[in-house]
């Protein structure tokens, strides 16, 4: 993940005056999130939801985690154990030029480089100064981010996620001699297995027979 570190270094230089220590980058698809920094281990974890990110999502989420790193280095607690982002996180995000929306349960955690169209309530939305917003837009528009490594990472993480998903349970269809549609049942038992389905219909007095194709 050297390319991800290169992006971190670039953002660190341009947005944080190179004041952040670079964490270790690790993949753990057992984690049900996209990207999250662990303050105890100083590890930036790529989780199972990362493959759903666009390049824009990745950059914004990476900066999000860098805000946590900055605040932690200054011994500022900006998020609770249940992931509620408080006013200290909000303050840093606003200063960087982000529009910030308050999530119902996770606080000031939703960052955007553009103003939301349908939120005007100051209890749920805070806007940056024009100068900060223009500075952030200027920086992001000038950069030629390497998209190749990003899409390769998305693909490899999706493959890792798919590899640990349990196989879909396939149910075979069994029918008795009653008239349709109330003459069938579903079972995961194959008719050629030692534990084949042994079901009998008391209405038509016939066995349930497998009618689904059975692969060898």
pLDDT value, residue 34: 94
pLDDT along the chain (216 residues), means of 10: 85 96 92 94 94 93 98 97 96 98 96 88 91 94 83 86 67 90 86 87 92 66
| Alpha helices by DSSP H, the chain | 2-15, 55-73, 87-96, 130-142, 147-164
Distance separating alpha carbons of residues 126 and 118, to the nearest angstrom: 13
- 186 within 8 A of 172, measured Cβ to Cβ: yes
- Is the alpha carbon torsion for 42, 17, 126, 90 positive or negative? positive
Map out the domains of the chain as residue ranges: 2-164, 172-210
pLDDT value, residue 67: 98
- Is the alpha carbon torsion for 38, 42, 48, 54 positive or negative? positive
pLDDT value, residue 212: 81
Task: Please give the model's pTM, rounded to 2 decimal places.
Answer: 0.73
Distance separating alpha carbons of residues 69 and 78, to the nearest angstrom: 10
Strand, coil or helix: what is 20? coil
- 25 within 8 A of 1, measured Cβ to Cβ: yes
Taking only the tens place, the pLDDT of each residue in 46-69 is 999 999 999 999 999 999 999 999
Rg (CA), the chain: 26
Taking only the tens place, the pLDDT of each residue in 137-159 is 999 998 888 788 788 888 888 88
pLDDT value, residue 216: 41
């Amino acid at each position: 993940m050297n390319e991800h570190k290169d992006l971190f270094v670039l953002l660190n230089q341009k947005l944080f005056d190179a004041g952040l220590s670079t964490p270790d980058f690790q993949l753990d698809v057992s984690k049900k999130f996209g990207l999250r920094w662990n303050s105890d281990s100083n590890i930036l974890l790529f989780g199972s939801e990362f493959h759903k990110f666009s390049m824009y999502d990745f950059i914004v989420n990476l900066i999000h985690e860098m805000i946590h790193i900055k605040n932690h280095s200054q011994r500022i607690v900006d998020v609770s154990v249940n992931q509620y982002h408080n006013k200290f996180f909000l303050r840093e995000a606003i200063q960087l030029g982000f529009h910030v929306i308050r999530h119902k349960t996770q606080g000031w955690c939703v960052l955007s480089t553009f103003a939301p169209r349908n939120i005007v309530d100051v209890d749920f939305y805070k806007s940056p100064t024009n100068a900060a917003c223009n500075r952030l837009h200027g920086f992001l528009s000038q950069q030629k981010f390497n998209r190749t490594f990003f899409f390769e990472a998305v693909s490899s993480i999706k493959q890792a996620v798919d590899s640990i998903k349990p196989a879909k349970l396939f149910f075979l269809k069994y029918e008795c001699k009653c008239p349709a549609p109330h003459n069938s049942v579903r079972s995961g038992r194959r008719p050629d297995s030692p534990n084949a389905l042994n079901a009998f219909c008391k209405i038509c007095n016939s066995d349930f027979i497998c009618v689904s194709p059975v692969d060898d």
